[in-house]
């Protein structure tokens, strides 16, 4: 594929650093419209079938750069106008995550005891104390306490990790608006903004990349990929997994190398990392097939243990054994 320097009209002469002027791009005219201002608000016909089921939001990685620009009525060369930015800020709100009420440390710790097997162990602790078996009671309660502490630490770390992601959104971003390069507050970004990226930048929102020059981003916090991901601009199949969407730059990821230009396609809670944060904050408990099976097994085991203990106690009493001894044995 042939590469050439970006069109010089991207910004007024002298407004870009020498590095950004060398950002390579596919110069094919059908990939970057010279202007899409005044285009209709609806998406072009070619977007049909490229939205997830039950959603009107297209799969941005499956579209060409021209289709994304047309969808958002933006111009890769000139960016949005000030009036359009203001209008979209009113419609989409600030580029920041909604603050959600989170459980306090005390409640998080107490919820670690909310398990069927823990109820059994706590009951056993109470019984052994009643029978003056203090050593047994201490051992049983020690097991329960260690389990609660480990669970609390894991949940606390997960919560802190989500908060760290929220704080990784940069305060400033470099954009093209009305044909000029500007440094603006990242919270003012709107869908359709044209964002410039270079090495060391934090990606301020989810971007569909339209121009790249050896661009690589670190996305370990989002996708788990341990090495920086090389980026490109070609559309990908709709079924492409999040970690393989090489034509996208996701909010909170770090530009490890190179430069690029992207169109904002999602801000705030609509970004991929924003959705993850919302899901974690709103979910009381993440139920996986394994955890559901463990919970079911715990309930069955609780019934079996209580039944066997009751039968053992009854048989012992009927045989004339001491009630206290049989209670402890059961």
At residue 278, the pLDDT reads 74
Domain containing 36 equals 8-43+62-97+170-274
Residue 12 lies in a domain: yes
At residue 330, the pLDDT reads 61
At residue 194, the pLDDT reads 97
At residue 315, the pLDDT reads 81
Do 159 and 221 share a structural domain? no
At residue 130, the pLDDT reads 83
Do 176 and 322 share a structural domain? no
Do 81 and 183 share a structural domain? yes
Q: Tell me the DSSP string of 266-296.
A: E-GGGSHHHHHHHHHHH-S----HHHHHHHH
Q: Token digits for 61?
A: 């990685």
Q: Tell me which of 152, 168, 184 is where a domain ends.
A: 168
Do 109 and 87 share a structural domain? no
Do 81 and 13 share a structural domain? yes
Q: Token digits for 64?
A: 């060409």
Q: Tell me which of 168, 200, 221 is where a domain ends.
A: 168
Residue 108 lies in a domain: yes
Q: Token digits for 161?
A: 């990790």
Residue 57 lies in a domain: no
Q: How many CB atoms lie within 10 A of CB 308?
A: 11
Residue 151 lies in a domain: yes
Do 86 and 180 share a structural domain? yes
**CB neighbour burial string for 71-104, b if at least 16 within 10 angstroms, e if fewer:** bbbbbbbbbbeeebbeebbeebeebbbeeeeeee
Residue 256 lies in a domain: yes
Question: Which residue's entry shows tokens 């089921």?
Answer: 53
pTM listed for this prediction = 0.61
CATH of the domain at 89: 2.70.150.10
| Rounded-to-integer distance, Cα 95 and Cα 184, Å | 12
pLDDT tens for each residue of the chain, 330 residues long: 333 333 333 333 333 333 333 333 333 333 333 333 333 333 343 444 444 444 456 799 999 999 999 999 999 999 999 999 999 999 999 998 876 666 778 888 888 888 777 887 888 888 888 878 888 889 989 988 998 898 888 888 877 776 776 667 788 999 999 999 999 999 999 999 999 999 999 999 999 999 999 999 998 877 777 889 999 999 999 999 998 999 999 998 999 999 999 999 999 889 988 887 777 666 555 555 656 776 777 778 778 877 887 888 788 778 777 766 666 666
Residue 283 lies in a domain: no
Residue 260 lies in a domain: yes
Do 207 and 87 share a structural domain? yes
At residue 286, the pLDDT reads 53
Do 216 and 181 share a structural domain? yes
Do 103 and 229 share a structural domain? no
At residue 323, the pLDDT reads 67
Do 200 and 161 share a structural domain? no
At residue 111, the pLDDT reads 84
At residue 173, the pLDDT reads 95
Residue 181 lies in a domain: yes
| Rounded-to-integer distance, Cα 259 and Cα 214, Å | 7
What's the domain count of the chain? 3
| Rounded-to-integer distance, Cα 57 and Cα 50, Å | 9
8 A C-beta contact, residue 288 and residue 248:
no
Nearest to 327 by CA among 310, 306, 304: 310
Burial class of residue 49, CB neighbours in 10 A (0-12, 13-18, 19+): exposed
Do 219 and 93 share a structural domain? yes
Do 106 and 20 share a structural domain? no
At residue 22, the pLDDT reads 39
Nearest to 88 by CA among 18, 47, 31, 41: 41
């Amino acid at each position: 594929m042939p590469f050439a320097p970006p069109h010089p009209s991207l910004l007024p002469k002298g407004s870009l650093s020498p590095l950004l002027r060398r950002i390579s791009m596919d110069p094919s005219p059908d990939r970057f419209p010279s202007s899409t201002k005044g285009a209709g608000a609806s998406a072009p016909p070619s977007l049909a079938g490229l939205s997830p089921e039950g959603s009107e939001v297209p799969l941005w990685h499956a579209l060409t750069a021209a289709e994304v620009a047309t969808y958002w009525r933006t111009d890769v060369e000139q960016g949005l106008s000030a009036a359009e930015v203001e209008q979209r800020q009113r419609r989409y709100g600030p580029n920041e995550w909604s603050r959600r009420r989170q459980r306090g440390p005390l409640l998080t710790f107490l919820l670690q005891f909310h398990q069927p097997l823990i109820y059994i162990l706590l009951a056993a602790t109470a019984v052994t104390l009643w029978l003056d078996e203090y050593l047994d009671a201490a051992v049983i309660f020690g097991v329960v306490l260690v389990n609660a502490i480990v669970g609390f630490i894991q949940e606390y770390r997960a919560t802190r990790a989500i908060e760290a992601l929220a704080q990784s959104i940069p305060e400033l971003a470099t954009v093209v608006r009305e044909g000029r390069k500007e440094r603006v507050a990242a919270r003012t970004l709107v869908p359709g903004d044209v964002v410039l990226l270079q090495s060391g930048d934090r990606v301020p929102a989810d971007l569909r990349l339209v121009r790249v020059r050896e661009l690589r981003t670190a996305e370990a916090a989002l996708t788990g990929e341990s090495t920086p991901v090389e980026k490109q601009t070609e559309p990908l199949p709709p079924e492409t997994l999040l970690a393989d969407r090489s034509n996208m730059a996701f909010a909170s990821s770090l530009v490890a190398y190179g430069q690029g230009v992207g169109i904002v396609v999602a801000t705030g809670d609509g970004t991929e990392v924003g959705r993850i944060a919302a899901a974690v904050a709103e979910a009381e408990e993440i139920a996986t097939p394994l955890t559901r099976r463990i919970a079911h097994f715990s309930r069955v085991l609780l019934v079996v243990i209580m039944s066997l203990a009751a039968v053992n106690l009854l048989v012992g009493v009927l045989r004339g054994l001491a009630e206290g001894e049989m209670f402890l044995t059961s």
